[in-house]
Amino acid sequence: MLTTTQKQLLSIVNLKGYGGKENVLSRILSRDNGWERTSHTLYDYKNDMLDCLVECKKQADLQWLDPSKYYGLSEREKQIRFLFIVINKQGYVDVAFTVKAEDLIGRLWSNEHVKDAWEYIQKYPKDQIKSCIKTRAFYRDNQDIIHTVYERMQTVAA
């Protein structure tokens, strides 16, 4: 999913701080490699070269997701790739991994949970529903459905 150059850029970029990092990520996920920034409800990027839609999530660990967004997904929408970029306390990327929307949703919530969240939002559209995911634990515990695209090399002290 990522080129060698993109992985090298991930290894040196600092994403510390709140928000506003979309421009930094857009320079890494650039048009040169087929990436196009979008403002869709379910995804942030599309890549015609890779034939995929990507929702990008950058966080140190705790990530909040809205289960109501994932009710009644089309077959194409179920294939959206979540790209989790997990940063350390200094703001550098420790790991980046992808998981298909349908796999992520299936591990986090039951169909009933997603439907109930959607029905609630239909009734109370000004409210928000958020569920948390601890990305580091999710990464550790779900190796069968994730694909690691970058992992920081750990140095061993002498």
Kindly calculate the radius of gyration of the chain based on its CA atoms and give it in whole angstroms.
Answer: 16
pLDDT in tens, 71-102: 999 999 999 999 999 999 999 999 999 999 99
Mean pLDDT value of segment 125-134: 95
Beta strands per DSSP E along 60-145: 62-65, 81-87, 93-100, 131-134
Kind and range of the H or E element at 56? strand 52-59
Helix count (H) and strand count (E) of the chain? 6, 8
**β pairing state of 131-134 and 62-65:** antiparallel
Assess whether pLDDT exceeds 70 at residue 20: no
Q: What is the pLDDT of residue 156?
A: 46
Overall pTM > 0.85: yes
Instruction: Answer whether residue 57 shows pLDDT above 70.
Output: yes
The three-class DSSP label of residue 64 is strand
> Count of CB atoms within 10 A of residue 76's CB?
8
Residue 47 DSSP one-character state: E
> What pLDDT, in 10s, does the model give residues 27-54?
888 887 788 999 899 999 998 888 899 9
Q: Which residues contact 157 (CB under 8 A, 6 or more apart)?
A: none
